[in-house]
Amino acid sequence: MPKIIVKNMSNLQVKTEGNTTILTALQHSQVDWMHACGAKGRCTTCKAIILKGMNNLNAPNLHEKRFSQLGRLRKNERLSCQAELGEGELEIEVPNSSKLPHISYSY
């Protein structure tokens, strides 16, 4: 079963059915994650830093390519509302810019 590990949330582990966006998988496990535009691919507040498992994600779509070209999404970052985990494991962290004030992050 595909799995997401959020390193700076004390190695929080979320299991997913696969072919699910990172954001949807997190939300199904009651994990709060910033997503200002409502998962429409129009902001970058939902971005995740990908530490391991980039190859287990779908290819970046038009929204992500646009933000990459604008310099708002680095090579090791994906929009959690657009990036889908197929199989395998993914290690991510929340960027400082997207940390929520009511959550204690481990770093």
**Torsion angle defined by CA atoms of residues 59, 28, 72 and 40, in that order, rounded to the nearest 10 degrees:** 80
Q: Which of 9-17, 38-46, 68-76, 83-91 is the region at the interface with ligand FES (rule: CB under 6 A)?
A: 38-46
Q: Which of 6-14, 44-52, 70-78, 93-101 is the region at the interface with ligand FES (rule: CB under 6 A)?
A: 44-52
Greatest pairwise CA separation for the chain in angstroms: 35
Are the C-beta atoms of 15 and 3 separated by less than 8 Å? yes
Asked if 79 is part of the footprint of ligand FES (rule: CB under 6 A), the reply reads yes
Asked if 39 is part of the footprint of ligand FES (rule: CB under 6 A), the reply reads yes
Asked if 37 is part of the footprint of ligand FES (rule: CB under 6 A), the reply reads yes
**Binds ligand FES (CB under 6 A): choice among 4, 35, 73, 92:** 35
Are the C-beta atoms of 21 and 39 separated by less than 8 Å? yes
